[in-house]
Amino acid sequence: MPKIIYKEETLNGIATLVKYNHREEFYLRIKKEGKKYKNISLKTSDLDVARKNALNAYMISHNQPTKTRQSKYLLETACEKYLEEKQELVDIGKLSQNSVDTYRGRIFERILPYAHAIGVKKVSDIDKKTWKDNYFIFYRKVKEKGKWKKETKGLAISTINNDISTIKELLKWMIDEECIDPRKVVMPVEETDDRNKRDTSNPAYFPDEWDKFKKQLSIWEKQHSAKEVGVNYSWENFDDEENKWKAKWFVQYLMFQYHLGARPHETRMIRVRDTDFKTLDNRQFKGIVKISPLSKVGKRTSVMNGFVLQKVIDHLEKGIEIRNKQINSFNNMIDSKFSQMPIEKLCRRYKRINPDTRMCDLHAPLSSDDLIMMNPFRESSKDQILSVGTIHIWYKEVLAECNFSENYTIYSLRSTHITHAIQRGIRENKSRGSIKILIGDNCGTSDKEIDDTYRRLNTMLNVDLLGFHEDKKITLKTDRIDIQFTPEIDDETFDYLRN
């Protein structure tokens, strides 16, 4: 262990000039936290020169980021610690679990695989070339994606940009934690592609495509409702009604998504108590929906078509009624066939049996705590709503008959709502600024997202206003006089609230 053979306070006591027994040069010894010190070589054995160099050495050291053992972290370890802090925000209600799951998916499914592919394993491996431009190019060239290695010609620009926003946040966190030297980092920048504004993972429907989708959805409902259901027990004689109810539920779910413009995960959290209705002086019936504070951007109050919302709630009550018919039928079967069976054996055979009543309990009436998208036919209390997988299977069945070139998703209903709402506002001569504010507040989105969503369809949604045409006079003959007039655009032909 080195021994100090000379010691002299300098710089008004904030540092010390020292000399060790095994070194010729003087060192500047700076006190750190606890019992730790930082030693800087002054590269001279002359005491007077060391005194002159002390201030300059101290300033250089002060402006440099502190080297810590964290620079030796594996990048994966740093990412885990970053996600741990995100999870703490979930625990105190400042962030939704879905957001953390999204961060985790981006990091472990794309960001870390990219880093490993270019040889970045430790935090200290990160340099100015690691992220700048390279991430975007890397994922635009990929040939397959997803768990099942689906063939692709590169990830969507919107997907890559979402990853880049997470990378920037992760890098800033590592700088704050003094894991990396900020001078060695160049923040990546989101990319734009003006040549293809529809290059998005959730494109909005064009008006003619939207009409085609709704027609095909109606056909799908009739076909799905007519499917035969295998009957295994006599109490299932109401399965046909259940099947029709689920088909109608799916249709109403899609229309609800379109009319409210909510994110799918937001809709799955809406309860009856979060809804209300209001009739305006002009007799418009509005639905008021409170979005949960656990959603992606926090709580907000949204307005939609009240009739669409009312249909959803009425349909849920109808489902509970059908479910109770099934249960009564089941109970009648139990009473007639198994009245003498010991309760222990009966409960083993039918787990839904209440041992106190020897019957299956009826579904409770709709309450304010129930989810508006609840599935009353669920087999488990955990499966409150029809699964995401089931919804996507049915959605793909409808799209398969439409033969669209775009990859429309459930999230596309939100994009379509925003686009049609903007179009309606423009046709009613609202200022662009006020349209953005209204739609942004109602849907919980940003000005940038609104601009990007609308610009993709701007010309096609205004096709009747573009192009040069001669005014055509129409002559209306009456008994007394012939009247000529030029027909005007009918502002009522476009209504984004139509079903």
* Structural domains for the chain: 4-64 (no CATH), 71-184 (1.10.150.130), 207-402 (no CATH)
State mean pLDDT over 468-496.
55
pLDDT at position 444: 86
Does residue 421 come out as left (phi exceeding 0), alpha (psi in the -120 to 50 range) or beta? alpha
Nearest to 18 by CA among 56, 53, 48, 50: 50
Q: Which residue has the tokens 């490993």?
A: 116
Higher pLDDT, 158 or 76: 76
Residue 215: its H or E element: helix 207-225
Does residue 302 come out as left (phi exceeding 0), alpha (psi in the -120 to 50 range) or beta? beta
- pLDDT tens figures, 372-390: 999 998 877 777 889 888 9
DSSP tag of 366: P
- pLDDT tens figures, 212-223: 999 999 999 998
pLDDT at position 129: 86
pLDDT at position 461: 60
- pLDDT tens figures, 307-319: 999 999 999 999 9
Question: At 211, is the pLDDT very low, low, confident or very high (cuts 50, 70, 90)?
Answer: very high
- pLDDT tens figures, 252-292: 999 999 999 999 989 999 999 999 999 999 899 999 999 98
Asked if 306 contacts 285 with a C-beta cutoff of 8 angstroms, the reply is yes
Asked which of 15-19, 64-68, 105-109, 154-158 is least confident by mean pLDDT, the reply is: 64-68
Asked which of 143-157, 289-303, 342-356 is least confident by mean pLDDT, the reply is: 143-157
Asked if 112 contacts 79 with a C-beta cutoff of 8 angstroms, the reply is yes
User: At 45, phi and psi to the nearest 5?
Assistant: -100, 0
What is the CB-side half-sphere exposure of residue 156 using CA atoms within 13 A? 13
**How many whole angstroms separate alpha carbon 335 and alpha carbon 327?**
12
What are the strands, taking DSSP E only, across 68-143?
none
* Burial class, 429, CB count within 10 angstroms (exposed 0-12 / middle 13-18 / buried 19+): exposed
State mean pLDDT over 142-147.
71
Q: How many C-beta atoms surround the C-beta of residue 494 within 10 A?
A: 16
Residue 420 has pLDDT above 50, yes or no: yes
Nearest to 28 by CA among 3, 59, 2: 59
Beta partners for residue 37, in sequence order: 31
Signed CA dihedral, 391, 388, 94, 188: sign only? negative
Percent residues over pLDDT 90 in the chain? 34
**How many whole angstroms separate alpha carbon 133 and alpha carbon 115?**
13
State mean pLDDT over 89-117.
87
Q: What residue type is 28 in one-letter code?
A: L
pLDDT at position 227: 65
* Burial class, 431, CB count within 10 angstroms (exposed 0-12 / middle 13-18 / buried 19+): exposed
Nearest to 87 by CA among 101, 73, 70, 106: 101
State how beta strands 275-279 and 285-291 pair: antiparallel
Higher pLDDT, 105 or 490: 105
DSSP tag of 371: B
Nearest to 157 by CA among 133, 112, 190, 113: 190
Higher pLDDT, 295 or 4: 4
Asked if 170 contacts 76 with a C-beta cutoff of 8 angstroms, the reply is no
Residue 166 has pLDDT above 60, yes or no: yes
- pLDDT tens figures, 439-470: 888 888 887 777 766 665 566 666 776 776 66
Question: At 234, is the pLDDT very low, low, confident or very high (cuts 50, 70, 90)?
Answer: very low
Asked if 175 contacts 185 with a C-beta cutoff of 8 angstroms, the reply is yes
Mean of the per-residue pLDDT values of the chain: 82
Higher pLDDT, 499 or 43: 43
pLDDT at position 297: 73
pLDDT at position 428: 67
